[in-house]
Chain A
Amino acid sequence: MSLRDSLARSLHAPLDDVSAEAGFAEDHPPRMGFFTDTSVCIGCKACEVACKQWNDVPDDGYALTGMSYDNTEALGSTTWRHVAFIEKPATVTSTDLGLPGMGPPGFEGYESGVPHGEDQSTASGEGGLTWLMSSDVCKHCTHAACLDVCPTGSLFRTEFGTVVVQPDICNGCGYCVPACPYGVIDLDKEDGRAFKCTLCYDRLKDNQTPACAQACPTESIQFGEVSELRERAAGRVAELHEKGVDVARLYGADPEDGVGGDGAFFLLLDEPEVYGLPPDPVVTTRDLGAMWRHVGAAAGLLGALAAAAFAGRGR
């Protein structure tokens, strides 16, 4: 394997085994992650509370935002799970669902008179309304920019393939903050260090489910092996498409995407940016080679300029 390929693999190209790439022995545990199926999210915020309770994360203030029922606004140093609420006029009229799989013989052809909305999309009154809810979390990218740019090694890849900050190492340089293409990690203003979801690293080591997934009443947040979750997610999208919910799509599940696929990915019912997610995130280190080449060339040019300054007749 050439250096170039090796760099590509470690910086942006598809990667089968993130833990091995990070140096864990072959018998490391499988990569663990979340599949958040927003089509069954009921916006109860149990994930937010369970996360803070378990990880001892403080509140982030008491401000009514007017952003529907979202008063925690975004992921950040004190919000590691964040439930977005989006009120939109209903635009999609989906087809009748029937009641698959439930009918006895003779009931297959059953067609309900109810115009089934997509999950989270309900005809209401005149016009109709959708109220989308989605629990966002750190994506635990295959190619995690935060981890790559961290100058102290505080951010590291765990044996479960997750990305975790070690608070005892972090010196608060803040590089991870603008590096993240999703706007997940942030410095705590008072503490000075960076914090984000650990995918409950401590619980994982005890064979426990992360707090948010444990608390989720509707299995919107599913925890498991990433490979298995990806299959489950693909199945769920197919199921929804079959039901006529054409707007269902996966986000972050594709290992070929700009971050090599997310360890925590989503089923969405609208465009990612509607939920505050970047539509096509790319890990910044994909361009790292080009950056260093240009830095080198510019340094060379600068040397040449300096030499030229003395080569001429100084006056």
Chain B
Amino acid sequence: MRLLIRYHNIILFIILEVIAFMLLAKFSSYQRSRIYSMKYAIEGSIEKRYARVSDYFSLAEENKSLAEENTRLYNSLPDSYFNPLSSGNTDTSRYKRYVFMGARVISNSTNKQYNFVILDKGSKHGVEPDMAVICDEGLVGVIKETTENYSSAISMLNREFYPNAMIKRNGYFGYIEWLGRHYKKVILNEIPLHADVRVGDTIITSGYSAIFPKGILIGTVEKYEPEEGIFYRITVDLSTDFKRLANVTLVKDMRRKEIVELESGTEND
């Protein structure tokens, strides 16, 4: 008991630190988004009260309708269908591979090491984990968790996100890595030294995973240097400006389950 009194500050310090680390580690991004919903409510009310320029509201509305139109156009794109002619079946809905859905960014960060984007569409709207998130400018990330009304996506600016990518001009592929520094720069790894790389080359998603469709823009080659071994280390200038992300499109791969089954099957062998 005397020890308790004597060291009460140290004990209190340890208790508070344990609570803090529990907050840090124990909450999934799902639980977090619920805690943060308090923040959204406060921010929302501040915004409403102090928005002096009412035009901005119609601007947001306009953006939304444009995003919806984009979604509709994406959905009717021939690329989002399998080739129905090859099988002789003309019911196109059965051969649709990618389904697109518009969403708005509620919160986003660029100055952390593990950045997430919170979106205003959730499981109620059909959002599922591992759906791709893209925007007009390029790749954004991948859905990690969903709640009824919201979902959180791992941003490209997250040190645990390694999407597959390829050089559009010649098809060499590798993976993208963010080093946690600049919000416009990522590294493309594993491009072999014999590949022909040029400054300005377009980098796109490779489509070698069941998450991202092939051909989503990632960025352009800014510089490249040979690394130890047999690979280039390519600095890519991201096409997506994460500092002004507002409207995004979610992509669902209807054949994802089949592909994942195949992939896990080959791994087991």
A, B assembled together: no
Q: Which chain A residues have a beta carbon within 8 Å of chain B's beta carbons?
A: none
Q: Which chain B residues have a beta carbon within 8 Å of chain A's beta carbons?
A: none
